[in-house]
Structure 1
Amino acid sequence: MFSTFAIVITLLLLMFFAYRGYSVLILAPIMATLAVLLSGDFLSSIPAYTDVFMAALSGFLLKFFPIFLLGALFGRLMADSGAATAIANTVVEKLGASKAILAVILVCAILTYGGVSLFVVAFAIYPIAKDLFKAADIPKRLIPAAIALGSFTFTMTALPGTPAIQNAIPIPYYNTNVFAAPILGIIGGTIMFIGGWLWLQSRAKKANAAGEGYGQHDEEDVGGIGTAEKQTEVLSTHQTSFNIAMIPLILVIALNALLTYAVFPSMDFSGLQTQFPELNIAGSLGLWSIIISLVVACVVIIVLRIGYWNNLQKTINRGTYDSMLPIFNTASEVGYGAVIASLAGFIIIRDSILNLTPDNPLISEAVAMTTLAGITGSSSGGLSIALSTLGEDYLRMAVAAGIDPELMHRVAVMAAGGLDTLPHSGAVITLLAICGLTHKQSYLNVAMVTMAIPLISVVAVIILGTMFGSF
């Protein structure tokens, strides 16, 4: 009883202090230790940190560090080469200021689906979005929701092949790949895109009818982060064409698909299994595909812009450093989850979640993923905690119920992209700061397009998957 109480208390404290701006790097080990102490097991508090917390943290780094590193590096290369700006300008030019909301959504979607970090996208696109919305006289308060819809939703969790870390996390647990349940993913992504776009269009029309335009804004930075103009430094002053800019993005998806469906299936890995007997090849192939694709894309964009980089070394170093905080934040949350899972009280919570819908683990899984994502304020953090503690159980339940692990993969990722943008979410706080807006001004619309509508799409995918299986 005390152990279960300790878990609930520390989860609430984690959420509270994260909202107040405290780093998860220090919060996670403190809350994990506090949970052990409140459970009455004083002697285990230090071993729980050194042997359980750190073992889980290092295990997560072992699996996913290359993807975080390469993803951040690729995003920085795209931004500093001028490729991201070239893509944005072309889309805006084709659609025009009259379709400002759609233009911002599509630009963000193209970049994030191609592998560019959502934070890099937010910094790079905000100046363009600001000018577009001002020209169309659309309230500035809708900019964060438009950027979030294109960056935080369907391209992050639903569309097959997306190299987002959220889509990679279930791979070693379910022995799947980033293209899991592709048609269902496209259906879910379409619901998010169309539903979110229509919502924002309706808000813009309502504002226009009420006489509300872009508004008066001094464009000052909020929360100490600074506006995108101050933060973004495009190191290449040479024009990048749209066609050249798109090559690395297409490579990431196309090469990933080629490796997943053609190259790896035709290879004999028996010798590799003999050399590395503990290697889970089925659970590694999906990760290897992403790693190879991102490496090739990074090399290609560097080569394509040879002679135009003002400071390639600085870009590479910045991209490398950009990966550090996200990977260690997520790994720390995984460490916290491992300590929680080791407590006696977790058995009660685990059994309650697993038995929520014993005949359909998809529903139970969705509830677990989105709840933990909401508590941690992070889709990758919630997904990692849930799968590291319950992944084996869900795989066993799926097999027993005749459910394709690919369907479990897609539902897990999409559900983690539900409540992950509660007000304390680091992504939301950062996005609002970039745009120079507050929760009061913009959060309602952000919540609609990143939580309410994505959760509707999850329900739709669960219903379709239950009726027709994975496809």
Structure 2
Amino acid sequence: MGSTLAILLSLVLLMYLAYRGITVLLLAPLMAALAVLLSGDAGFLLPIYTNTFMSALSNYVLSFLPIFLLGALFGQLMADSGAANSIAQYLVRRLGDKHAISTVVAACAILTYGGVSLFVVAFAIYPIAKDLFQAANIPKRLVPASIALGSFTFTMTALPGTPSIQNAIPIPYYGTNVFAAPGLGIIGSIIMAVGGLWWLQSRAKKAAAAQEGYGEHPEDAVDSDDDRKEGLTIMPVALALLPLFLVIGVNALFTYGIFPGYDFSTVTEKFPSINPKNTVGLWALIIALVVANASLVLIRLGRWHNLRETVNKGIFGFMLPLFNTASEVGYGAVIASLTGFVIIRDFVLNVAPGNPLISEAVAMTTLAGITGSSSGGLSIALQTLGSTYLEMAHAAGISPELLHRVAVMSAGGLDTLPHCGAIITLLSICRLNHRQSYANIAMVTMVWPLLAVAVVIALGTMFGSF
């Protein structure tokens, strides 16, 4: 029991200190060490650090480094090429300020579904969203929730083929791919998108009835017109969309067309440790991102302001998110090695003994909420319980594809609690605070996504994966 309390204390401190702004790179090993010390295993602290924490961290980096690297580079290329801005401006011209909320959500959704980092999207879309909301006289406090709905919800966890890191994490654990359970993913996406849009539109109407308006925001003057115009290259929207289509299309081509008929016998002979079933999903995504990055470079060849600077900025930008998540995986591995974890594991697994999907959803969303990170919570949960859930699923006749989709969608439930780093960054970009905007962010990023998970679990239990 003492070891279990030590684990819970370290989790609470991890959540609290992350909210206070301390980096997870430091918190993860420190909180893991605290749990070890309080569990009475002080004599094994250094072996646990070198053999458990660092081993899990390095294995995660080994598996997902190319996804983080190529994704960050792609986002930077999309931003600096002007492609992201061209797509956003096209939607503004087509939909206008009369549909300001829908325009912002659609712009964010297209970019994130195409593989652009949600942080890049937030920076790119905020100036446009601010102007749209001001022209439509919609309260600025709804801007963060609109960006979050398009970036942090259905395109991150539910839409089949989305190249988000969250959608890639279960692949080596379940032997799936990013298109897992496409029909259920689409249903979940519709619930999140329609429900979130309805909520935001209803808040806008309520504000209009109260004559609230856009509001007085002196902080908007901080935005320099020169800064906003710099680098906003005009690109034909068809060319701007091409790399996004390539991410999804090339991924699908290799996932469903090339790899299923490929003979991997020579590969497994040379690399006997490789299980193609557990890696082809990652290989397809890597190839798709390489092709999309190359296409962006070629499209703007000779017209880049400073291609070397763009590439360097994109490459450097991947390291912090990768090692933050990898550190959380190391923390999860240490926690799983402690005797007190058995009580926690058995409790979670027995939430719904007859349906591992419910237990999995509880585990994923709880850990995502504690860590304030969907990728971090998902990684910890799969590191500690992934093999167990796969065995339970096989015993219950549940497909790994359904496990994959429920896991990813569940991780996108409570991940946006107030201490979430992405939420803090988004509010900072929009120059707003939790008091002004968090309630609406929570509604579109937690309430509707959790409802979508419940529906997907119910449909998956009745009809299986589709």
Normalised to the residue count of structure 1, the TM-score between the two structures is 0.97
**TM-aligned CA deviation for residue 230 of structure 1:** 9.3
- AA paired with 2:310? T
**TM-aligned CA deviation for residue 352 of structure 1:** 1.1
Deviations 1:332-373 (Å, cap 9, x if unpaired)? 000000000000000111111112111100000000000000
**TM-aligned CA deviation for residue 234 of structure 1:** 5.4
CA shift in 2, pair 1:142/1:256, >3 Å = same
Match of 1:366 in 2: 361
Q: How high is the sequence identity, in percent, across the aligned residues? A: 67
Hey, what's the Cα distance between the residues in 2 that align with 1:206 and 1:245? 36
CA shift in 2, pair 1:318/1:195, >3 Å = same
Match of 1:332 in 2: 327
Hey, what's the Cα distance between the residues in 1 that align with 2:233 and 2:204? 36
Match of 2:416 in 1: 421
Match of 1:7 in 2: 7
**TM-aligned CA deviation for residue 107 of structure 1:** 0.1
**TM-aligned CA deviation for residue 438 of structure 1:** 0.2
Q: Is the 8 A contact 1:227 1:433 kept in 2?
A: no
Hey, what's the Cα distance between the residues in 2 that align with 1:270 and 1:40? 48
Deviations 1:418-451 (Å, cap 9, x if unpaired)? 0000000000000000000000000000000000
Match of 1:316 in 2: 311
Match of 2:146 in 1: 146
Is 1:260 aligned with 2:252? no
Give SS of 1:64's match: helix
Q: List alignment gaps of at least 5 residues for structure 2.
A: none
Q: Runs ≥4 in structure 1, deviation > 3 angstroms?
A: 226-235
Match of 1:177 in 2: 177
CA RMSD of aligned residues (A): 1.3
Match of 2:67 in 1: 67
Deviations 1:295-324 (Å, cap 9, x if unpaired)? 000000000001110100000000001101
- AA paired with 2:443? M
Hey, what's the Cα distance between the residues in 2 that align with 1:269 and 1:233? 50
Give SS of 2:177's match: coil
**TM-aligned CA deviation for residue 219 of structure 1:** 2.3
Hey, what's the Cα distance between the residues in 2 that align with 1:156 and 1:365? 18
Could you tell me which of 239, 247, 267 is aligned with 1:244? 239
**TM-aligned CA deviation for residue 266 of structure 1:** 1.3
Hey, what's the Cα distance between the residues in 1 that align with 2:402 and 2:336? 25
Could you tell me which of 423, 430, 435 is aligned with 2:430? 435
Match of 1:85 in 2: 85
Hey, what's the Cα distance between the residues in 2 that align with 1:325 and 1:59? 17
Q: How does 1:144-223 map to 2 (within 5 A)?
A: 144-219=144-219
Q: Is the 8 A contact 1:369 1:383 kept in 2?
A: yes
Normalised to the residue count of structure 2, the TM-score between the two structures is 0.98
Deviations 1:404-428 (Å, cap 9, x if unpaired)? 1100000000000000000000000
Is 1:277 aligned with 2:266? no
Hey, what's the Cα distance between the residues in 2 that align with 1:350 and 1:241? 53
- AA paired with 1:258? L
Number of positions where the alignment pairs a residue of Structure 1 with one of Structure 2: 466
Hey, what's the Cα distance between the residues in 1 that align with 2:224 and 2:153? 21
Deviations 1:88-123 (Å, cap 9, x if unpaired)? 000111001010000000000000000000000000
CA shift in 2, pair 1:234/1:318, >3 Å = farther
**TM-aligned CA deviation for residue 220 of structure 1:** 5.7
CA shift in 2, pair 1:328/1:231, >3 Å = farther
Q: Is the 8 A contact 1:238 1:308 kept in 2?
A: no
Match of 1:381 in 2: 376
Q: Is the 8 A contact 1:127 1:228 kept in 2?
A: no
